[in-house]
Amino acid sequence: MPQPTLSAEQAATFHELGYLVLPRFKAADELQSAVQRAHAIVEDFDPSLGASRFSTRDRSLVADARLIASAEQVHCFFEEEALDDNGALQVPKSRSINKIGHALHDRDPVFRRFSHGPELAALAAGLGLLQPQVWQSQIIFKQPHIGGEVGWHQDATFFVTVPHTVTTFWFALEDATPDNGCLWVQPGGHRSPLREQYVCEDGRLTMQALDRTPWPDRSGALPLPVAAGTLVVFHGLLPHCSAANRSPRSRLAYTLHATCGTAAYSPLNWLQRSADLPVRGFD
């Protein structure tokens, strides 16, 4: 097992607050490669081949089959406000994409490099992730002016394990500010129950309510403005959200979701892997 690189104080902060901010985790050249590659994927994408809109406010916008297929592929998803009612683009293609997912870390050479290596393996070990399994990667654009809001949620909703182990690795590829839609978190909120579970049964996706604990109000929420290169890691039960981006600057982020291989991964989770692309760790 790799040697943890977190100090005892950092590990204690993570367990106390449910998140940890690690400035300068990624170097400028890695950021540049990732940002260039993200834009190149969009450039190569042909919208006429069909793509789904993506909105956390209305998940029905995403065709179930298309989302499920993206588990092992690299798919582009449009911003909710990028298309008119007839599906015609309202903004240039380069400004239309909400996110790219969900197997960049295994399928794309640039993001495969970005998502693996001894630093991440050691960090995962320091956070207590045993035999990490990295299920998902996403490039989240938060486009200028139309980048959509993401309401309060817990990432464990989408990655149920017994016990709860999913951990989010949120990399700022560009500066994230209160103006362009930085993360908001509820410090300590990872000790609250899982409110919802996103369930896949027979190819159909539904959001099921589990617990009525209210989401935090403004007084319990903290914005996390961070500079490009910062990694924010957070517990799967930590409530978090981000505002819409009405500013003229994008807020590109890249996320990974990993669980412990020692925990039972729910067969009801939407994201499953076939034998063709087995889930692997950070090494």
Question: Residue holding tokens 């209210």?
Answer: 214
Q: Is 252 helix (H, G, I), strand (E, B) or coil?
A: coil
Considering beta carbons, is residue 168 or 250 the nearer one to Fe ion? Answer: 168
Contact partners, residue 261, CB within 8 Å, separation at least 6: 130, 131, 132, 133, 281
Considering beta carbons, is residue 17 or 83 the nearer one to Fe ion? Answer: 17
Measure the CA dihedral 199/202/205/209, to 10°. Answer: -40
Considering beta carbons, is residue 83 or 242 the nearer one to Fe ion? Answer: 242
* Minimum distance from residue 108 beta carbon to Fe ion (Å): 21
Angle between helices 118-127 and 8-17 (to 10 degrees): 60
CA within 13 Å, CB half, 67: 23
Q: Does 184 contact Fe ion by CB under 5 A?
A: no
* Minimum distance from residue 153 beta carbon to Fe ion (Å): 6
Positions in 4-33 near Fe ion (CB under 5 A): none
Considering beta carbons, is residue 83 or 240 the nearer one to Fe ion? Answer: 240
**How many residues at the interface with Fe ion, by CB under 5 A?**
1
* Minimum distance from residue 76 beta carbon to Fe ion (Å): 19
* Minimum distance from residue 128 beta carbon to Fe ion (Å): 20
Contact partners, residue 57, CB within 8 Å, separation at least 6: 80, 148, 149, 151
Positions in 147-176 near Fe ion (CB under 5 A): 155
Considering beta carbons, is residue 122 or 199 the nearer one to Fe ion? Answer: 199
Residue nearest to Fe ion (CB): 155
* Minimum distance from residue 245 beta carbon to Fe ion (Å): 16
Considering beta carbons, is residue 83 or 233 the nearer one to Fe ion? Answer: 233
- Which uninterrupted H or E stretch holds 87? none
Cis, bond preceding 144 (omega within 30 deg of 0): no
**CA 218/CA 116 separation, integer angstroms:** 36
* Minimum distance from residue 9 beta carbon to Fe ion (Å): 26
Q: Which residues bind Fe ion (CB under 5 A)?
A: 155
